[in-house]
Structure 1
Amino acid sequence: MDPGHRKATGRTSKAGATTTYVSEVASTSSRSEPNGSRAPLRDVPADAGRRGPARTPPLSRPANGAKEPQEKPQGRAPRARPGKPCVRGNDARLPAPPGTRTARARESPAAPAPPAAPAPPASSLCARGARSSRMPRARAPKPSPDPAASAAPGGWKPRAVLERLRLNRDEISAAAQVVNRVVDRLLRRMQSCESEFKGVALLNTGSYYERVKISAPNEFDVMFKLEVPRIQVEEYSDTGAYYFVKFKRNPKANPLIRFVEEEILSASKMLLKFRKIIKEEIKNIGETDVSVEKKKPGSPAVTLLIRKPEEISVDIILALESKSSWPASTQEGLPVQSWLGTKVRNKLRQEPFYLVPKHAKEGNVFQEETWRLSFSHIEKNILNNHGTSKTCCETDGVKCCRKDCLKLMKHLLEQLKKNFKDRKEMDKFCSYHVKTAFFHMCSRNPLDSYWDPRDLSLCFDDCVTYFLQCLRIEILEHYFIPKFNLFSQDKIDKTSKEFLSKKIEYERNNGFPIFGKF
């Protein structure tokens, strides 16, 4: 049977609350990610609730008291960035990344002008993972306060915003205790001998373990992984992301054989039974006020709502683990060669891949038997080992502002979704979109020096510029599956992308007043 021609069912998905592409713990309005999930709290990271020591700048910075211009710019001028353009043969569709910054005075950013136009021809696009041609900045040693802590162009203060986003250690510990108690109870039930899911184990992924969680510890993701040996996957409708799952053999001893229909492992049937076991066990938990939320069409998660001591939402996601080679659609993905190195890429591709019961959508109905690829564990690895230097951001290593830029990008989208929660144009945007754009920025600007903490406002502006370009040309390639466009017309309509683009432009031109709301 040709999977691309398998008839879509008119049934709605049996999943829980939306948590697509999981791996994010954002606010309730922007929590979902196309292939990640919010991670449970097992151990509080050592640096939660505090920042690492500020490194001594090797070169001079603006004199004490120097401030950025305070007037509200009407646009932004592109910065001059010399360097020989390089060609990305297969990626001419992608927006041109913000180029390498030349030596410049931090205290005097370029005068504002209209944003950059959409992608230039392929000849001007940088090669995937090509190293930045950024020129070193010449400074004479002169101690001074970190300019990133002072006002950025437009008057907003990046460090002050990040300080407000920092999680409270006591709140994290309290939430962890409650969440872990419920999750451990469910895990023991799943592992009981009469359960079809007795081989499940926890997979710790998501923004908490990536250490980019923002706001409050009130939403978490838990992934229950289940190893399924000897399976084969068949790509659904040339998507690159959605697959039918079949067993190479169907032994009667296989507890999952009851979920097989016409040789295909049914995602909807497995999710239905997974949800049923959770609902039954939740009724037996008397010491915690917890309930199961109504399922939402197309979602792979079973969502729990814990009401005491604080309201906490927990998404539980079933994930099939395969230790086979990654599907062919990922062959050109994960472009970290010039950033983390070819050896690191090869090692990451030797890790298992996961399939979550997220159904492909055909028009207004869902194909309920499909599974979607998930690489949330690889995303966690990348973010926790994100520097060209192996000691980047370690206690005694050189610091960078990569994670700070991601936190600000996530916060920007989260605030906009809150501010325009009644507008349907914002419904389909999620933190995974900005996370994907951020990964592409890291690949295009791999050097740690590009992400100098003293350039935080400029690096953040580059990330915003790239995200706007993706919105304008309606292309945001999945970081692991290049042919899967997260901004395609069938996923997010042009009107919604234009709406978000205008709101981001307004915020950037006026010093991000949205950061002061809520």
Structure 2
Amino acid sequence: ISAPNEFDVMFKLEVPRIQVEEYSDTGAYYFVKFKRNPKANPLIRFVEEEILSASKMLLKFRKIIKEEIKNIGETDVSVEKKKPGSPAVTLLIRKPEEISVDIILALESKSSWPASTQEGLPVQSWLGTKVRNKLRQEPFYLVPKHAKEGNVFQEETWRLSFSHIEKNILNNHGTSKTCCETDGVKCCRKDCLKLMKHLLEQLKKNFKDRKEMDKFCSYHVKTAFFHMCSRNPLDSYWDPRDLSLCFDDCVTYFLQCLRIEILEHYFIPKFNLFSQDKIDKTSKEFLSKKIEYERNNGFPIFGKF
């Protein structure tokens, strides 16, 4: 947001005829199996006891990228150390300027979305039922993100990803189809999201030595923002002249989510991103206090860096 130096690239792998089995009633994590296991299936070597191994595939994916990096001559590129539980292979490019690129392996499935998403994507009053039905006909993705139980990762699980739908919504975000087009009326939705992301980004930077900030990420802000769009569907609410009011409303909603310890995943309602087992109460209270301080003092952190 402040400087475009982090990028995500999804590496899609189409997998025909898979079945997914929900892991431990999470709604978000799944074991992946093939409906048939023909010998010709090139992924058969990653199957263990009928389950497609997320850890084995991620290991191989990482190895391939590391080998390819050796062939890049003119740019200074290195692969960052693996982060526990992360589905990404992160490249650090140092020249001509420093940027990091997350390459994420994603299985693409053209089957119906899993049952846990049935009540999710609440865009009916905002983008309309037709749009929702059309979006739900898009493929869904599974990334090798391991479910965490206590301090242990379940290394064979895959997590649902709807980043392509999120991108689609952000690009076509208005009640009126011409919102923010060249000749259309402008709104401040994207500016609110940028400010929310920037706020969290700067707080994480400012308190990088505090473990309370470790669990928070821009996806939490993005999810809260989407819920705000569903709650306030009309373009007139997001008038650019009311940017400060809209931003304040977004901050208020995010603080409320922290306080009640509930932030529903936008696509998987039963998956609570702020549940006690994911982020402890102390961390949520710490972030709340920091955001409250910023709001009460006119966001001094925005001018700090």
Q: Shorter-chain-normalised TM-score: which range?
A: over 0.9
C-alpha separation in 2, matches of 1:430 and 1:329: 23
Q: In structure 2, how many angstroms separate the alpha carbons of the residues matched to 1:336 and 1:279?
A: 41
1:508 maps to what in 2?
A: 295
Distance in 2, Cα, partners of 1:266 & 1:355: 12
Which consecutive segments of 4 or more residues in structure 1 shift more than 2 A? Answer: none
1:238 is paired with a residue whose SS is coil
* Structure 2 unaligned blocks of 5 or more: none
Of residues 137, 140, 145, the one that matches 1:358 is 145
Provide the rounded CA distance (Å) in 2 between the counterparts of 1:466 and 1:217. 27
Deviations 1:27-75, CA, capped at 9 Å, x for gaps: xxxxxxxxxxxxxxxxxxxxxxxxxxxxxxxxxxxxxxxxxxxxxxxxx
Deviation digits for residues 190-219 of structure 1 (CA, Å, limit 9, x no counterpart): xxxxxxxxxxxxxxxxxxxxxxxx121211
1:291 to partner: Cα distance: 1.1
Q: If the length of structure 1 is used for normalisation, what is the TM-score?
A: 0.59
Task: Describe the superposition over 1:374-400 as per-residue Cα deviations: whole angstroms up to 9, x where unpaired.
Answer: 000000000000000000011111111
Higher helix share: 2
* CA deviation after TM superposition for structure 1 residue 281, in Å: 1.2
Q: Deviations over 1:356-415 (max 9, x none)?
A: 000000111100000000000000000000000000011111111111111110111111
Match of 2:102 among 301, 309, 315: 315
Identity between Structure 1 and Structure 2 (%): 100
Equivalent in the alignment of 1:101: none
> Secondary structure, in 3 states, of the residue corresponding to 1:469?
helix
Partner of 2:158: 371
Structure number with greater Rg is: 1
SS at match of 1:232: strand
CA-CA distance at 1:234 after TM superposition: 0.2
CA distance in 2: counterparts of 1:477 and 1:240, whole angstroms: 12
Correspondence 1:457 to 2:227: no
| Separation (CA, whole Å) in 2 of partners of 1:311 and 1:460 | 30
TM-aligned CA deviation for residue 316 of structure 1: 0.6
Q: Which secondary structure state, in structure 2, belongs to the residue aligned with residue 407 of structure 1?
A: helix
In 2, the alpha carbon distance for the partners of 1:313 and 1:445 equals 35
User: Greater relative contact order (Cα 8 A, min sep 6): structure 1 or 2?
Assistant: 1
Distance 1:366 1:389 in 2: 44
If the length of structure 2 is used for normalisation, what is the TM-score? 0.99
Tell me the SS of whatever aligns to 1:270.
Answer: helix
Q: CA deviation at 1:433?
A: 0.4
Cα displacement (A) at 1:486 = 0.3
Equivalents in 1 of 2:148, 2:101: separation in Å? 25
| Partner Cα distance (1:228, 1:267) in 2 | 14
Secondary structure of 1:338's match?
coil
Between the aligned partners of 1:427 and 1:412, the Cα distance in structure 2 is: 15
CA–CA separation in structure 1 for the residues paired with 2:264 and 2:66: 37
How far apart, CA to CA, are the structure 1 residues paired with 2:165 and 2:64?
A: 29
Following TM superposition, by how much is the alpha carbon of 1:288 offset from its aligned partner in structure 2, in angstroms? Answer: 1.4
State the number of aligned residues: 305
- 2:84 is aligned to 297
**1:208-253 C-alpha deviation (Å, 9 max, x unpaired):** xxxxxx1212111111000000000000000000000000000000
Which residue does 1:332 correspond to in 2? 119
- What CA distance in whole angstroms lies between the structure 2 residues aligned with 1:457 and 1:292? 40
User: Matched residues in 2 for 1:307 and 1:348: separation?
Assistant: 38
Q: Larger % of strand: which?
A: 2
CA-to-partner distance for each residue in 1:427-455, whole Å, 9 max, x for gaps?
11011101000000000000001111111
> Structure 1, residues 304-359: CA drift from partner, whole Å, max 9, x if none?
11111111111111000000000000000000000000000000000000000000
Whole-angstrom distance in 2 between the partners of 1:426 and 1:496: 7
> For the residues of structure 2 that align with 1:341 and 1:280, how far apart are their CA atoms?
47
Q: Following the alignment from structure 1 to structure 2, what is the Cα–Cα distance between the partners of residues 408 and 285?
A: 36
Question: RMSD of aligned C-alpha atoms?
Answer: 0.6
Matched residue of 1:465: which SS?
A: helix
- Which residue does the alignment assign to 1:241? 28
Q: Matched residues in 2 for 1:285 and 1:511: separation?
A: 47
CA distance in structure 2 between the partners assigned to 1:303 and 1:359 by the alignment:
17
- 3-state SS of paired residue (1:286): coil
- Per-residue CA shift, 1:100-149, capped at 9, x if unaligned? xxxxxxxxxxxxxxxxxxxxxxxxxxxxxxxxxxxxxxxxxxxxxxxxxx
Give the C-alpha shift of residue 286 in structure 1.
1.3
Report the Cα offset of residue 476 of structure 1. 0.1
SS in 2 for 1:459: helix
The separation in 1 between residues aligned to 2:194 and 2:76, in whole angstroms, is 31
Shift of 1:296: 1.2
Distance in 2 (alpha carbons) for counterparts of 1:289 and 1:438: 37
Q: CA deviation at 1:284?
A: 1.5
Match of 1:255, SS state, is: coil
TM-fit CA distance, 1:297 = 0.7
